[in-house]
Amino acid sequence: MSQSTNPHPPVAWNRRQWLNTMAMGLAGLATVGPRVARAAALTDPELMKVLGQWKNNAALPVPMLTQKERAQLLEGKIMKRWLGPRGGAPVGALVMVISDFSQAEIWLGSAEGHHIKGDSVESKHIVYNLPKTGNEMFYWYGHLRMPMPFTNRHFVLRTMVNKSLVDATGGTCWERTWKLQEDGLAVVRPLVEAGKIPDLTVAQFDKAIYLPANLGGWLALQLPNGQTLFGYHASSSLGGEIPDKLVNRYVMLTLGDIVDEVLQGARMMRTHYVSGHEPIQSGSGAPVPYF
């Protein structure tokens, strides 16, 4: 398949636009207050126990929340914090909030994104679902078209559910995590050469910078009072001439938007995720039952 001229020529972006694009590199192209809930009849020790179960069985290094951070959650506020170095990334971010939505609604609300809607080409970015090779939940290639004078970034991410966490908690804690695939370029290049990825030439592919690091996770934890704790954490480095500190500072500002989008998605799930919808893995790896 021949490739024609680039339909997305370089444009002059403002500061917010290019910062948002770089933030997508940290968030893994997954952008998410409706229905943020005060934790009625939930005590701090109960919250600590659930968080401890998650931390002790998490697939990636994660922190225990401080008393002040737990108090924010119990008061119905969105909790945000920085994460230290992990997986080759110098810094990351974590957001959590307590919601009245069920575990399944939160899980599905955070999964209804680019990953399961099929291949897509946005005005500035490419998302391409790769053929799965095992029991991964998502496996995809992302290509970020950066504003001038920055070089485009690309990456391959594989998302897996944490079955060990489900087993350790009797199914009350669901988590899925993604990691950058070191062999990503070797997997994707033949597809680009064959013209399988729309609007991406071999020259554009070869020129782009592969992310040095990208990892993170999504979680939906059942609480003893019937509510659900939603969490999202991500760590990344965009490499090259782009300062990680600047990008991560902007990402911290957008974490509230991630919460909003997930909760908005959760609200539709009882009428959207019904018979006929593509099955989506639960935290155990089995399909989430239809509503």
Question: How far is 95 from 79, CA to CA, in rounded Å?
Answer: 6
> Is residue 283 in some structural domain?
no
Per the domain annotation, does 241 fall within a domain? yes
185-223 per-position pLDDT tens digit: 999 999 999 999 999 999 999 999 999 999 999 999 999
Give dist(CA 291, CA 269) in Å, integer.
8
- For residue 1, being part of any structural domain is answered with no
CATH for 245: 3.30.530.20
SS (H, E, C) 6-61: CCCCCCCCCHHHHHHHHHHHHHCCCCCCCCECCCCCCCHHHHHHHHHHHHHHCCCC
Q: Phi, psi at residue 206, to the nearest 5°?
A: -70, -30
pTM of the model: 0.84
**What pLDDT was estimated at residue 239?**
85
d(CA 143, CA 146): 9
Beta-carbon contacts of 90 under 8 Å, excluding residues fewer than 6 positions away, are 237, 244
Residue 10 lies in a domain: no
Q: What is the distance between the alpha carbons of residues 127 and 83, in angstroms, rounded to a whole number?
A: 27
Which one-letter amino acid corresponds to residue 36? Answer: V
Q: Using CA atoms, how far apart are residues 189 and 246, in angstroms rounded to an integer?
A: 30
- Per-residue confidence (pLDDT) for residue 254, from 0 to 100: 80
pLDDT at site 139: 95
Range(s) of the domain holding residue 74: 15-272
Residue 54 lies in a domain: yes
Residue numbers of the chain with a pLDDT score lower than 50 = 1-19, 21-22, 24-25, 27-34, 114-123
In a domain, 3, yes or no: no
pLDDT of residue 251: 74
Residue 277 placed within a domain: no
Can you give the pLDDT at residue 288? 98
Supply the angle between the helices 103-111 and 244-272 in degrees, to the nearest 10: 120
Whether 7 maps to a domain, the answer reads no
The count of structural domains within the chain is 1
